Chain A
Amino acid sequence: MSKALRIVVPVKRVIDYAVKVRVNPSKTDVDRNVKHSMNPFDEIAVEEAVRIKERLPSTEIIAVSCGSAKSQETLRTALAMGADTAIHVEVADDSKLQPLAVAKLLKAIAEEQKPDVIILGKQAIDDDSNQTGQMLAGLLNWPQATFASKVEISDTLAKVTREVDGGLETISSKLPVIITTDLRLNEPRYASLPNIMKAKKKKLTKSSPEQLKVDIAPRLETLKVEEPPKRQGGKKVESVDDLIDKLKNEAKVL
């Protein structure tokens, strides 16, 4: 690699994947007073950036998060995993922050930071949109390699294997490029205690939508949030014969 690589990794603070979310009583949102952590796909994005840096030590990794003050915890996690610096774009109410707005904030950051690669998770497990990376690529007019399960970065090129419906597909493009991670890309590391301590000293810059001159007004208004219908499960059968009989005569699916 002839020049130092700069990688931006956007990360999102979301309700922990293991929490069973509940709709709030006013049916406007889910109950957010529960454990939060870094979006799992973003952990994979940070891990991939750190692995690139382990191969090419001159690489600089900039973690970015857009959200409330608590997003700084998520940025510290990214720093403890191996990111070099962090940028926090603070917004008052992150539940109103939508992918298009985040993509515009990230575009402004990209214009400032001039990265060669931006690695995002393929989707956040809260809104399940699967949009931000693609939107950012569109706004920057950069190539996009979504749902990556293998990433090879060489001097000026990125070769990415993607998980598509029938199997795998490989594409290649020049840098700069947008990559979004699929589950199979890597196994994220746990931050060690010394690294968590070191992360506290790393530089975290604050920014805001106003500073970045981005309008973050939501385009979609959530009219209501409801519980999904409950299934009446729990009926047990005694034997394979019983099961086949029920499927044939009761459910009529065989």
Chain B
Amino acid sequence: MFAALRPNILSRAAAVQTRPIMSRLYTTGSGNSSLLVVEHRNGAVDGATLNALTAAQKLGGDITALVAGGAPENVAKEIAKYGGITKVLVAKDDAYAHSLPETLAPLLVEAQKKLGFSHVFAGHTAFGKNVLPRVAALLDVAAISDITGIESEDTFVRPIYAGNAIATVKSSDKVKIITVRGTAFPAATTIQNSPSEEAAPDAEKTALSEWVGEELIKSDRPDLNSAKRVISGGRGMKNGENFQMLYDLADKMDAAVGASRAAVDAGYVDNSLQIGQTGKIVAPELYIAVGISGAIQHLAGMKDSKTIVAINKDAEAPIFQVADYGLVEDLFKAVPEMTQKL
């Protein structure tokens, strides 16, 4: 997907260089003013926040980062170092500790109303998906989910039908509420930056719901969303114990491990490893699909990977149609052999 959009962005970038009038529209004086909602965990910026920041930078104009939480200080300091941030709004209150949308949404609405942002950006992660549509409804505007490209300040590109079609949509709303597909934009980088920091506006903190607890999956391997290499197993793995083969190979390659829905549903691995339309969307440099047939819903989550490898004993499996390199062989033979030879 990104590959298709890139020519568009590049041609626009070229247009900016050769036609100064375009640069006025896209980089300065556009009147754009964006609010970046910062997702964070354990005192560090998380999710697709830095990718969403890159998307906001493409629009031009001022970018204000909002950090809300029980102890937001470190995150506020961290995000201030990234390019394009002109101001950091800090909302410190225990009511924001677990990012409950019922308290976060009124805060974002208050910030938008007081400061008049034209765009609100967040990553299209469990956090962004949960909060931003609620904000949009409170502002009576559409939300634009999972964008993979920006054509102009009101026109955005997003995949529909599990990535089998790409829609270009134009918003008629005054405020654009946008979640960004992390893999479609590179992460922003740090620069010499000294944005101002101020307290976020006060908003009502009605406790409509209560956070009870969480069970997070601990892993020493790279995070699926940002890993450069991903190895995924499907139904062909036969059971959870056999995933150890993939972990061994992943460790050799410094790769993250993912799974198809079939493998998750069969209980081989945890839900949070699912890649696909309804799981995570990844676009690593190398994606190795092991024992995965390649259903539409799975392809939706990985077909923007740079190089795709399929290892499957069924030569007719649809995964081979998208794989750059396909190896028709029993995975129980091929995977250990590969681990041993690397």
Query: Using a CB–CB distance below 8 Å, which chain A residues touch chain B?
Result: 15, 17-18, 20-21, 23, 30, 41, 98-100, 103, 122-123, 125-139, 141-147, 149, 159, 162-174, 177, 182-184, 219-229, 231-237, 239-244, 246-247, 251, 253-254
Given known pairs A100-B141, A171-B212, the reply for A182 and B278 (CB within 8 Å) is yes
Q: Is the CB of A220 within 8 A of B144?
A: yes
Q: Is the CB of B134 within 8 A of A171?
A: no
Query: Using a CB–CB distance below 8 Å, which chain B residues touch chain A?
Result: 1, 3-4, 41, 47, 98, 100-102, 105, 125-127, 129-138, 140-146, 155, 159-173, 208-217, 225, 229, 253, 261, 264-265, 270-272, 277-278, 280, 285-286, 296-297, 303, 306-309, 315, 320-329, 334, 337-338, 341-342
The listed residue (B101, B163, B164, B272) touching A134 by CB distance below 8 A is B101
Q: Which of A183, A227, A239 has the most CB of B within 10 A?
A: A183
Residue of B nearest to A184 (CB): B271
Q: Is the CB of B170 within 8 A of A223?
A: yes
Q: State the CA gap A10–B326 with chains docked (Å).
A: 43
For B225, list chain A residues within 8 Å (CB): 165
Q: State the CA gap A13–B3 with chains docked (Å).
A: 32
Residue of B nearest to A135 (CB): B137
For B145, list chain A residues within 8 Å (CB): 128-131
Q: Is the CB of A247 within 8 A of B272?
A: no
Beyond contacts A125-B277, A136-B137: 7 other A-B pairs, Cβ-Cβ < 8 A, are A122-B278, A168-B272, A219-B171, A220-B172, A224-B167, A229-B3, A243-B327
Residue of A nearest to B211 (CB): A171
Q: State the CA gap A94–B329 with chains docked (Å).
A: 46
The listed residue (B102, B137, B171, B321) touching A233 by CB distance below 8 A is B321
For A41, list chain B residues within 8 Å (CB): 278
The listed residue (A135, A147, A166) touching B216 by CB distance below 8 A is A166
Q: Is the CB of B141 within 8 A of A219?
A: yes
For B280, list chain A residues within 8 Å (CB): 165
Q: Is the CB of A221 within 8 A of B142?
A: no
For B126, list chain A residues within 8 Å (CB): 147, 162-165
> 4 closest pairs, A vs B, by CB?
A173-B209, A138-B137, A134-B133, A135-B137
Residue of A nearest to B101 (CB): A144
Chain B: interface secondary structure?
mixed
Q: Is the CB of B286 within 8 A of A228?
A: no
For B102, list chain A residues within 8 Å (CB): 137, 143-144
For A143, list chain B residues within 8 Å (CB): 102, 208-209
Q: State the CA gap A18–B318 with chains docked (Å).
A: 13
Chain A: interface secondary structure?
mixed
Q: State the CA gap A147–B133 with chains docked (Å).
A: 14
Q: Is the CB of B338 within 8 A of A135?
A: no
Whole-angstrom distance from the CB of B125 to the nearest CB of chain A? 6
Residue of A nearest to B47 (CB): A165
Residue of A nearest to B1 (CB): A228
For A226, list chain B residues within 8 Å (CB): 4, 165-166, 168
Q: Is the CB of A130 within 8 A of B133?
A: yes
For A30, list chain B residues within 8 Å (CB): 160-161, 164-165
Whole-angstrom distance from the CB of B121 to the nearest CB of chain A? 16
For A125, list chain B residues within 8 Å (CB): 161-162, 277
For A172, list chain B residues within 8 Å (CB): 209-210, 212
Q: Is the CB of A99 within 8 A of B134?
A: no
Q: State the CA gap A166–B41 with chains docked (Å).
A: 10
Q: Is the CB of A222 within 8 A of B212?
A: no
The listed residue (A131, A167, A168) touching B143 by CB distance below 8 A is A131
Q: Is the CB of A20 within 8 A of B326?
A: no
For B132, list chain A residues within 8 Å (CB): 134
For B173, list chain A residues within 8 Å (CB): 219
Q: Is the CB of B209 within 8 A of A171?
A: yes
Whole-angstrom distance from the CB of A188 to the nearest CB of chain B? 13
Q: State the CA gap A222–B162 with chains docked (Å).
A: 17
Q: Is the CB of A167 within 8 A of B214?
A: yes
Q: Is the CB of B212 within 8 A of A138?
A: no
Q: Is the CB of A135 within 8 A of B163?
A: no
Q: State the CA gap A235–B309 with chains docked (Å).
A: 10
Whole-angstrom distance from the CB of B109 to the nearest CB of chain A? 9
Q: Is the CB of A168 within 8 A of B214?
A: yes
Q: Is the CB of B253 within 8 A of A138?
A: no
Q: Is the CB of A166 within 8 A of B217?
A: yes
